Structure 1
Amino acid sequence: MAELPTIPSYVTVHLSAPNSNAENITVRFSDYIKNVASSEIFPNWPVEALRANILAQISYTLNRVYTEYYPSRGYDFDITNDTRYDHAYTKDGEVFDTISLIVDEIFNNYIRRKGAIEPLAAKFCDGRITMCSGLLQWGTVDLANQGYTAMQILQYYYGDDIELVENAPLTDKTQSYPGVALSRGSFGDDVRTIKNELNRIRRNYPAIPNINTATSVYDGETVEAVREFQRIFNLTPDGVVGKATWYKIKQIYAAVKRLSELTSEGLTIPEVERVFRTELSLGDSGIEVEAVQYYLAFLGYFYPQLPPIPITGFYDELTRDAVFTFQNEYDLPVTGVVDLSTFYTIERVYKNAVADLPANYQSAIGEPYPGRFLVEGDRGEEVRVIQQYINRIAQSDPAVPEITVDGIFGAQTRRAVIAIQSQLGVEQNGAIGPVEWVEIITRGNNL
C-alpha cells in the first residue's frame, strides 16, 4: 500500500530544461511556492483567485515530488523552472506579502481526485497568451469576481471529482497544526509546547516577552508573546496561534535549535515534558479526563442519547460508553478513545450548546462553564459570576480568601483560585478551567 503524501521540507530546483547543464538549488518548500506564485500571478488579484492558483501550484509540485518524476528518470532534482515542463521559478526573485501570507496558511493543503492518493498534477497556463486544458490563470480572476470560491474555481477547471486535503503532515516530522486555533483561554499540551518554543526562540529574538511555562493555559503573557512573534515575522499580530503562526513558530524554533547544535545544546526537560496526553482511554485518570467528563455530563442535560456520567477524573466504562455514543452521533470513528479530533468536537459542541442558552439561564448543575479557561486579565460577566461563588466558599472556608466582585480577574482572584486548586490537588496555575468551574459552582450552590 502506497504511503500517503507528505509535505517535503525542501525541494531541489533545476534552473533550466531537464537535460541542460544548469545549476540546482535547494529551497524550503513553502519558499519555493511563494516564489512561483509571485513569478506567475499578480498579488492584487482577488483572494479566492490567488488561493486557487496557489493550491494548483502546490498540488502540481507535490505530484512531481510524490511520483519522483525526475529522480525516476535519472535526474538529481525534483522540478525545473522551465515553464515548458514546470513552474516559473526566479532565483532570488521578489515575493509579495499578500502571496506570502496565503502560502503560510495553505502550504500543506493540496487537491487530488476522489479515491486517489497522489496530489493532482494540476496543469495550468496563463489563459491569454497560452491556452491549455487545465486551469487558466486569468480566467480565475473572472470567476472570483463572479463570487466563486477557490475550491469552486478549481472544480470548474479540473472537475467536480476533486477534493481538498488539508493540513497534510510534514516530512520532517514537524508536529501538525491541531486544526483549531489556540487563543486566550485555550489549554493543553499544544499550549505548553508553543510556550516552550517561544521562550526558546526568545533567546535569539529578545523582543519576545518571556512566558511562564509552568502552566498549560493560554494566558495574557502568551497572547503578548505571540503578538510580538507575529510582528517580527510579518504575520497578522492578533495574538492567536492559527495555522500560519503555528508553522512559523515550528520553523523558527527548528532553525534556532539547529544553530544551537553548534554549541552542543540539548533539549531541556520542559521542552520534552508532556503534561496533557493526545489520547485518553479506559483506565486513564487526571484533569484531562475530568474536563471531558464535565463536557459530556453537561451535554447530557440537552442530548438525552448521551448517558449520564459522574465527574470522577477516572476514565471508567461509563465514560467510555458516553464517548462511544458521542462519536457515533457526530460521525467520528467509534473507538471509545478521546483523541484530539474527538476532544475538539466535544469542546465545539459544548460551546455551541452554551451559546444557544437563553440569557441568565442556569442549568440543573449551575452556571454553565463558558467554554474556555478564564485567566488573569480577563474581564466580564463570567468573571463576576465566578467571583460571587468564590466569595460564598470563602465565607465558610478560611483557606479561600474573600475577593472583590468587580468582574476583573486580578491578582486577588488568582490567589483565591490557587487556594481552591490546592484543595483539589490539581495544577495550581490560577486559571479557571472546567474542573475548577464545576467545583466552585457546586460548592457555592451547596452553601
Structure 2
Amino acid sequence: MPTTGNVPVIPEYITVHLGKPDQPAQNIQVPFTDYIKNVASSEIYPTWPEEAIRANLYAQITYVLNRIYTEWYRSKGYNFDITNSTQYDQAFVAGREVFDNISLIVDDIFNSYVVKQGSIEPYFTAFCNGTTSTCDGLSQWGTVDLAKKGYTPYKILQNYYGNDINIKTDVRVQNILQSYPGTPLKLGMSSNEVKILQVQLNRIRRNYPSITKIAQTDGNFGEDTEKAVKDFQKIFNLTPDGIVGKSTWYKIKGIYNGVKRLSELTSEGVKLEEVRGVYPTQLKEGATGDAVREIQYYLDIIGYFNPTIPFVKMDGVFGPETTDSVKAFQKSYGLSVDGIVGKETRNKMSSIYLDIVRSLPAGYEGEKAEYYPGFVLKQGMRDDNIKDLQRYLIFIAENDPRIPKTSVTGYFGNVTKQAVLAFQKYYGLDTTGQVGPITWNKIGDTYNELKGL
C-alpha cells in the first residue's frame, strides 16, 4: 500500500502485468513517472489542448494510485499492482516512445491525485474514450470539448466526478512495501497494523453482523479482536485460528475494499481518523518517550533469554545502546539490520516476547511479580492476569496510602481503574487507566521492591 503513516504517497516503481489478470504474462517493474507517460501516450493525443491533457493525466495518475492503495490485485493473490489490459485497467505498451509535451506535463503533476472531500484515498477515477465506449466516469474525448470551451483541468474533473473533489498536490515520493506487517498478528500484540485490522473488521461487520464487534479500535489485539478474526475466518472459509497471517490479512483487506466500494465511483471513502496510527511509525536514535520505553522493555526481557541481545536501560531515550540492542535483535531474528524500529521490527519484537512469556512454566517468577502478559488490561476485562494486577496493587496500597485499595476479583471494574489511575499519577506515568507494558512493569518493580524481592 503506498502509504507513509497510512497516508498515501507516490511510489517510486510499480509492477505492471502485461496481460489480463489471470493470463500468463510477463510482469515488469517501471518507474512510476515512466508508467504514467506511457499510459498517457497510449490513451490520449499530444495535439489535444493542454487543459484536456492535464485533466486526463490527473485521472490516469489517480486511477493507478487507487489500484495500489487498495492493493486491488495483491489482495487477490497476484504479485503485481496493475495490468495493461484496457478491459480491466488502462493501456500500457512496453517499450513505446512517449510524446515530449506529455512527458513534460507528467513531470510537473505526477505527484498529485484526485480525492473526494473528507477522504484520503486516491479516488477511483474511472474513464473511457467517450466514442467507442462510454461510462459514468470521465470521457477522454469529452475533455477536449470542455477544454475548448475554456474549462480548466479542475473544472473538467468536477464535470465528471462532482464538485466535491480536490486535487492533492506535492505528495511525497517514497519506495513502498506491501501492507502486510511481515509478522502474523495475534492475541497480545499492539501495533498500528492491529488498529487498521480492527477498523476494517468493524466496518465489514456492518455487512456481516455475525462478526463480533471490537469495542475499542486502539491497536491492542485483545480477546474481542481475536473472536472477530475467528468469526471472519469462518465466514470466508479460512482456518479459524484467530491469527492474522498473510492470507487472512489480504482477505480482510479485499472484503473491506469491497464493502467500502473503494474502487468504484460510489466509494464510501477512507477518513484520516480510520488510518491514523496509535504508535509512531518509526523509532530510531534520538527518539524519546513511552514508545521507546516500551521497546526497551521488550528488548530487556527478550535479551534475558537471548544473550546475543545486549541489555538496555529502560529510560525512554533511544540512544546508541538502544540502537545496538535493536540491531542485535534484528540480526538474531532475520530482519534487516538498520537499528530502526519500523512496523516489521516492532511486530516481530512483540511476537517474540509473547512466545517467550507463554512458554514459561507456571511459577517461573517465584514470589516476584509475573511478566507483562502481552496484552493491555483495561476496564471490562476479566481473567487471571487481572487477579495478579489487583494483588500487586493491594500490597502497594498497604504501603502507599495514595493508592486506593481494590480487591482480588479478576474483574477490571471502576475500583481497579481508579487504583491504576492513582498509581500512574503518583509514579509519573501517563494516566490512561489501562495497564500496558510500561505500567505493568512499574507496578511489578514497585511490588518487588516493597516485598524485598
TM-score of the alignment, normalized to the shorter chain, above 0.5: yes
Length, aligned pairs only: 301
Residue of structure 2 in register with 1:190 after alignment: 193
| Structure 1 residue 189 displacement after superposition | 0.5
The answer on whether the counterparts of 1:366 and 1:441 sit within 8 Å (CA) in structure 2 is yes
Is the CA contact (8 Å cut-off) linking 1:192 and 1:213 kept in structure 2? no
What's the RMSD between the two structures over aligned residues? Answer: 4.1
Determine whether 1:368 maps to 2:367. Answer: no
Distance 1:346 1:419, change over 3 A: same
Alpha-carbon contact 1:7-1:108 (below 8 Å) kept: no
Output the CA distance in 2 between the equivalents of 1:230 and 1:305.
Answer: 38
Report the equivalent of 1:107. Answer: 77
Instruction: Give the corresponding residue for 2:388.
Output: 385
Distance in 2 (CA, whole Å) between partners of 1:384 and 1:404 is 9
Q: Is the 8 A contact 2:286 2:318 kept in 1?
A: yes
Match for residue 201 of structure 1? 204
Structure 1 residues 390 and 282, CA gap change in structure 2 (3 angstroms)? same
* 1:229 is the counterpart of 2:232: yes
Q: Is the 8 A contact 1:383 1:407 kept in 2?
A: yes
Partner letter of residue 287 of structure 2? D
Q: Deviations over 1:218-273 (max 9, x none)?
A: 22332343344334434444443333321122112212332697567543232131
Higher relative contact order (CA 8 A, sep 6+): 2
CA distance in 2, matches of 1:313, 1:210: 34
Q: Deviations over 1:328-364 (max 9, x none)?
A: 4445433111233333443344345445645423389
Pick one of 64, 67, 82 that aligns with 2:25.
64
Q: Shift in Å at residue 192 of structure 1?
A: 1.0
Q: Secondary structure at the match of 1:343?
A: helix
- 2-side partners of 1:409 and 1:245: how far apart? 31
Equivalent residue number for residue 432 of structure 2: 428
Q: Which letter does structure 2 place at the counterpart of 1:394?
A: A
Conservation of the 8 A alpha-carbon contact between 2:260 and 2:267: no
Report the residue type matching 2:448 in the other structure. N
Report the counterpart of residue 251 of structure 1 in structure 2.
Answer: 254
Q: Shift of the alpha carbon at 1:320? A: 1.2
2:328 is aligned with 1:325: yes
How far apart are residue 441 of structure 1 and its match? 0.2
> How many angstroms does 1:290 deviate by?
1.5
CA distance in 2, matches of 1:267, 1:274: 14
Aligned equivalents of 1:239, 1:345: Cα separation in 2 = 18
For residues 6-47 of structure 1, the C-alpha deviation after alignment (integer angstroms, 9 at most, x for no partner) is: 697x972xxxxxxxxxxxxxxxx6xx5xxxxxxxxxxxxxxx
The alpha-carbon distance between structure 1 residues 279 and 202, as it changes in their structure 2 partners (threshold 3 A), is same
What stretches of structure 2 of length at least 5 have no aligned partner? 1-11, 30-41, 43-73, 81-175
CA deviations over 1:101-160 (Å, ceiling 9, x no partner):
xxx9993689xxxxxxxxxxxxxxxxxxxxxxxxxxxxxxxxxxxxxxxxxxxxxxxxxx
* Equivalent residue, structure 1, for 2:346: 343
TM-score (structure 2 length as normaliser): 0.54
**Matched ranges for 1:4-403 at <5 A:** 12=20, 64-66=25-27, 107=77, 175-213=178-216, 215-258=218-261, 265-355=268-358, 357=360, 359-362=362-365, 366-374=369-377, 376-380=380-384, 382-397=385-400, 400-403=403-406
Residue deviations 1:190-224 (CA, integer Å, cap 9, x gap): 11111222233334444445433452212233234
1:152-173 alpha-carbon deviations (Å, 9 max, x no partner): xxxxxxxxxxxxxxxxxxxxx8
8 Å CA contact retained: 1:214, 1:429: no
In the superposition, relative to structure 1, how do residues 356 and 66 fare at CA in structure 2: closer, same or farther (>3 Å)? same
**AA aligned opposite 1:64:** A
Residue 275 and residue 259 in structure 1: after superposition, are their counterparts in 2 closer, same or farther (change >3 A)? closer
Residue of structure 2 in register with 1:54 after alignment: none
What's the secondary structure of 1:222's corresponding residue? helix
User: For structure 1, which runs of at least 5 residues remain unmatched after alignment?
Assistant: 13-28, 33-60, 69-75, 77-103, 111-172
1:215 and 1:429 in contact (8 A); partners too:
no
